[in-house]
Structure 1
Amino acid sequence: MAVYPDPNGPTEADTAHVLRAALWMLGAVVSFSTMAVAGRAVSFELDTFEIMMYRSLVGFLIVMIVAPAAGTLTQVSLRKPQVQLLRNICHFTGQNLWFYAITLIPLAQVFALEFTSPLWVLVLSPLLLGEKLTRMRIVAALIGFIGILIVARPSPETLNVGTLSAAGAAIGFAGSIIFTKRLTRTETLTCILFWMTLTQTFFGLACAGFDGDIALPSAVSVPWLVLIALGGLTAHFCLTTALSIAPATLITPVDFLRLPLIAVIGLLAYQEPVDVFVILGAALIFGANYLNLWFQTRKKHSSG
């Protein structure tokens, strides 16, 4: 990850790094938004398990084409099978709930609740990674929780399966993030994506075929499924590349552009009204995430 030791501020080269990282982050923003639109397009024909099965199968084929061409297939190993399995169970569960949520509630609300994943990482990391729950992490989590309440506005009228699914997806993604952290200490992106797409193909096949009926996608749905698979892989790649170029504190704000972008898409494509409370709550959630990132970065620099 890039650092900027010059006390006089970032140089032109540093600025170029940040701009390049921001462009990669924009690629992730577009990829996530594309997945949401494509997921809603095929949801009328396929259930979430079938979507995940086809998405993972297409993703695995893409990995098997790109990795040999890039010379990274040899990086695939099975040094930590238990961690890979736990990571993919969390991701599979979270992604299924996410695809289900986007069919039930406005896209902006789904994305706003998805932004709580880093806050769940704060809460779960002491249990799963042995990290210390500091005072700043507690403050960030409380601010984020207030944001969740504003977005979801829990009441008998507003608390429904859609909001609960989106919240559950965020917890699933948090588990995936935590176990990915453990994997990236020894494994490469190719290795993680290989096992993610392969294992989740079998997860999807088992869950979709549980009732003995797996729907085949129509010619109309196939391009959308390819978009979902490409969107998932490119989102992971763009996000990882951006973080390898510049510090998270500098590029994370770009990720917040997902919310206004998906709100505009929801308004134009699905006539979903822009909810001011969703925007306000999401801003609080983002602020809590950014506060924790900023504090952790400052602490590392001061100790270094």
Structure 2
Amino acid sequence: MHAPASPFKAIAWMIGSLLSFAAMAVSVRELTGEMHAFQMLFIRSGLGVLILLPILTRRTQHGSGWRQIRPTYLAGHGLRNVIHFTGQVLWIFGIALLPLATVMAIEFTSPLFAGALAVLFLGERMNRGRVAAFALGFLGILVIVRPGLADVGEGVILMLVCALFFGATGATTKWLTRRETALAITFYMVLMQAVLGAAASLFVWQPVLWEHAPWLALMAITGLSAHYCLTSALAAADATFIMPLDFLRLPVMALAGFLLYAEPFELWTLLGAAIIFSGNYFSLRYEHKRPRPEMPSATPPPGSGPLG
């Protein structure tokens, strides 16, 4: 394993990512009960389009930008965004029903689903790293949920299904990254999900009040900045260096839930998340040490799914 290229820069980007993810979750929680998830995602994606349009135009002047937006793989983008949109709706429902820390802990299972789907549909091979990750992931979920000892509510079930959809998003994203740029994938994401959100919002639309505006703006901006910062951190250092830092999202989210909403933080949640995360990290280290052709990893960093 080579040394991180720029650890201090990577840490700075990860701080930005952690704060963005926490702010995004808080903005969603503040809007919960005020408007439907469909409406949130429509407005968030519409604002995302407006943010990206000048970026694309400016980059076009320097030789890229709009030239990256091609219709060649529209079907792949469409499949990815239907899956991702569904996962985001479930994530918003989960935010309304569960403590923020529990949402984040269960979300750490999404890379495990991504790895399983990559084996099933992308022709990747099962190996010891993935077997260990799946086993530890299953054990971690049992620790968090504790079936028979605690009630398994609908929020937990929703978040497990959400993690499956985020895992499927990761697998389809890997397929697309072999063919498309990150900017193209992001642009089609906000564009297509704005259309999906607009169609779905027709049935649940509520008036948007001025007091909603700061939270909607925060959700749109942090939805982009969280993943931009995370991607920049991964560009500055190894994934094996970044991944332990990404786990800090759990205590950051727990602290936000405690300070803002007086949510209790259970030791079982931390323990289960640590077990899941250790499985993810073991799998990543195993993949990192294997000799293989250069290509994007099938296993995205944990929690890479929400709103981005």
Same-fold status (TM-score > 0.5): yes
Which ranges of structure 2 fall in alignment gaps of 5 or more residues? 295-308
> How well do the aligned residues superpose, as a CA RMSD in angstroms?
1.9
| 1:268 Cα offset (Å) | 0.9
TM-score (norm 1): 0.91
Please show how residues 1-304 of structure 1 align to structure 2 within 5 Å.
4=2, 10=3, 14=4, 17-71=6-60, 72-155=65-148, 158-209=151-202, 211=203, 213-300=204-291
Check the 8 A contact 1:73/1:190 in 2, yes or no: no
Which ranges of structure 1 fall in alignment gaps of 5 or more residues? 5-9
| 1:229 Cα offset (Å) | 1.0
CA distance in 2, matches of 1:157, 1:295: 34
Paired-residue identity, %:
39
CA distance in 1, matches of 2:135, 2:67: 44
What letter corresponds to residue 214 of structure 2 in structure 1?
P
| 1:208 Cα offset (Å) | 1.8
Between Structure 1 and Structure 2, how many residues are aligned?
A: 290
1:103 aligned counterpart, secondary structure:
helix
| 1:51 Cα offset (Å) | 0.7
2:164 aligned counterpart, secondary structure:
helix
Q: Deviations over 1:19-38 (max 9, x none)?
A: 21222122222111111000
What letter corresponds to residue 211 of structure 2 in structure 1?
V
Check the 8 A contact 1:21/1:245 in 2, yes or no: yes
TM-score (norm 2): 0.89
Q: Deviations over 1:205-237 (max 9, x none)?
A: 12221x3x4113210111111111111111221
CA distance in 1, matches of 2:234, 2:76: 22
CA distance in 1, matches of 2:158, 2:135: 21
| 1:188 Cα offset (Å) | 1.3
Q: Deviations over 1:24-78 (max 9, x none)?
A: 1222221111110000101121011111111111111111122223332321112
Runs in 1 of length 4+ with deviation above 3 angstroms? none
| 1:157 Cα offset (Å) | 5.0
| 1:85 Cα offset (Å) | 1.0
CA distance in 1, matches of 2:228, 2:66: 15
CA distance in 2, matches of 1:100, 1:290: 28
